[in-house]
Chain A
């Protein structure tokens, strides 16, 4: 689960930031093309990435409008349709797991809940956890990475040790352990609310070293650059340099690593729900649907295919988009 982020973009990123610095400086004086503009023009030419981006946008819209979509569609995610179920086998009547005009993707075995409605609502959980946990990771990773790179010394070695430690150990197992020792009610939340909060915090917590490592490396290399020295010799304070000189140049690598982290987080959420430590029923989530589909893979394969394909498409779209963003922000990339 950790490896997709290990790609040597870290080596490519310094030059991305370098260009960011140059482009950023130029933009102010000459009104040249900003980095954002250059990146956008590159991204526009990358069809696969663009397709990924469009799918991501559609998914976001679906997730935000889920209640509206299901009410227009006419099926509620938690409503039972027992008339659709064969009383003898517990599987849906009709072909392909009960696909029909009323139930576009069929119904679940046993209780006949509409699969399309549950997939649409499941998108909310996947994206919510995917995005918010990435945000937790970005905040922690940026703050600690900058601290390590900017101050150096024992602060640096301590933070590096922690990052190495967190990256070395199998995250899924630790996340399972943390989620399963926690209570069902806390901070005024209960059931699914607690689980969502736990997943966001814990997945984010185990993700920050990916961002932190890159940010630290960048900060370390930029600290010694001429423009920082220039600012320092003009009498700029540490915090001015930190916020005005360094942070703007960290934006590009942070964006790249965030887009690459979201799909991993979505997979982790699905895995947790699959294992039964994710959201609680009846809240629908893709991982949970797959885990209940195990028992029916022979009698009702459609039930397994739909959530599986939903996860696949979502993660693939994010990955394609993420690769595209990485290439667009990387001046070496002439692929």
Chain B
């Protein structure tokens, strides 16, 4: 187990370096090849030439690419100081970038918004796991019945609906039309019930999409597993159907779902951009939209980095959990 753990941690560290380099390439190398003045990307097209030159010098855009990449890399772990003549800007570790437009370090802004994103993702995950997996298992067990068909039609509709449309519809119906919920985001510190009221529609909307995906996948996995030899053996041994399903079949159905859940949660840590935008939730995803609108690239860069790290960590956790559950993994 220890050897596996060390091997896995080492792989994750290598991946971390690769991710940081890829993000560097996306923001500093690819646009350069496409002929963009990168300094303009960071201050906006209307900025005056002196400001552009200042940012160019601060980011060291004239340096060799390897030096730039090293500075970028170092900043994440040790912080970074941007200097142009007497104009010095400091970005404390972990430096996920610095917005020269708003004169803000990216990291504190993003961590301030993180709780909203986390609450949205976790609340939705609870809902979609309960409803998605239950619907999928029931469909598989009652294959071909009216319930199965109905559930699968709803699930297919679920994956075909853009989430911002379901979000808007739910706002129009439940908040504006029926007036059941206020629909405005309220910080948790202000009022607990208000917070729930503001989060309930986003939770349901986001969970509906994922529940639809999980239901389809659970059903397909379960059907496949029910056809396996060991299930037949278990039944032939005379085990109760209940035991066969709950002990033998469910176990193998749920393990692949664990991987999916890890990945999906990791990805959602960077914010459900579309959901947050639709419901005006002040999370990371909405910051991405603001950054697109204001052409404030460092924030996009920061969210991309955070999300990648979250996915990496989620992957690591899932792999370790797997090794705990399934001893074969350790030997592989």
- The A-contacting residues of B in range 203-247, CB under 8 angstroms, are 210, 213-214, 216-217, 220-221, 224
Cβ contact within 8 Å between B34 and A304: no
A174 vs B288: C-alpha distance in the bound complex, in angstroms? Answer: 11
Cβ contact within 8 Å between B35 and A183: yes
- The A-contacting residues of B in range 123-179, CB under 8 angstroms, are 156-157, 159-162, 164-165, 168-169, 171-172, 176
**Does A186 lie at the interface of the complex (its beta carbon under 8 Å from any beta carbon of B)?**
yes
Cβ contact within 8 Å between A177 and B260: no
Contacts of B289 in A (CB 8 A): 275-276
**Does A181 lie at the interface of the complex (its beta carbon under 8 Å from any beta carbon of B)?**
yes
Contacts A176-B292, A183-B35, A316-B160 known; A304 to B168 CB distance under 8 Å?
A: yes
**Does B270 lie at the interface of the complex (its beta carbon under 8 Å from any beta carbon of A)?**
yes
**Does B27 lie at the interface of the complex (its beta carbon under 8 Å from any beta carbon of A)?**
yes
**B277-300 toward A: CB 8 Å interface, digit per residue (1/0)?**
110000000001100110101001
**Does A301 lie at the interface of the complex (its beta carbon under 8 Å from any beta carbon of B)?**
yes
Contacts of A316 in B (CB 8 A): 156-157, 160
Cβ contact within 8 Å between B31 and A182: yes
Cβ contact within 8 Å between A7 and B216: yes
Contacts of A271 in B (CB 8 A): 162, 164, 274
A320 vs B152: C-alpha distance in the bound complex, in angstroms? Answer: 11
**Does A53 lie at the interface of the complex (its beta carbon under 8 Å from any beta carbon of B)?**
no
**How many A-B pairs fall under 8 Å by CB?**
140
Cβ contact within 8 Å between B159 and A182: no
A267 vs B270: C-alpha distance in the bound complex, in angstroms? Answer: 20
Cβ contact within 8 Å between B220 and A270: no
Contacts of A275 in B (CB 8 A): 273-274, 277, 288-289, 292
**Which residues of A are interface residues toward B (Cβ below 8 A)?**
3-4, 6-8, 11, 165, 168-170, 172-174, 176-178, 180-183, 186, 263, 267, 270-271, 274-277, 287, 290-291, 293-294, 297-298, 301, 304-305, 307-308, 311-312, 315-316, 319-320, 323
Q: 11 A–B contact pairs at CB < 8 A?
A: A165-B18, A168-B263, A172-B274, A174-B26, A177-B26, A177-B304, A180-B300, A263-B160, A275-B273, A304-B168, A311-B162
**Which residues of B are interface residues toward A (Cβ below 8 A)?**
15, 18, 26-27, 30-31, 34-36, 41, 156-157, 159-162, 164-165, 168-169, 171-172, 176, 210, 213-214, 216-217, 220-221, 224, 260, 263-264, 267, 270, 273-274, 277-278, 288-289, 292-293, 295, 297, 300-301, 303-304, 307-308, 311, 315
Q: Which 7 A-B residue pairings sit nearest by Cβ, starting from the closest?
A: A308-B165, A170-B267, A316-B160, A3-B213, A315-B160, A181-B31, A183-B36
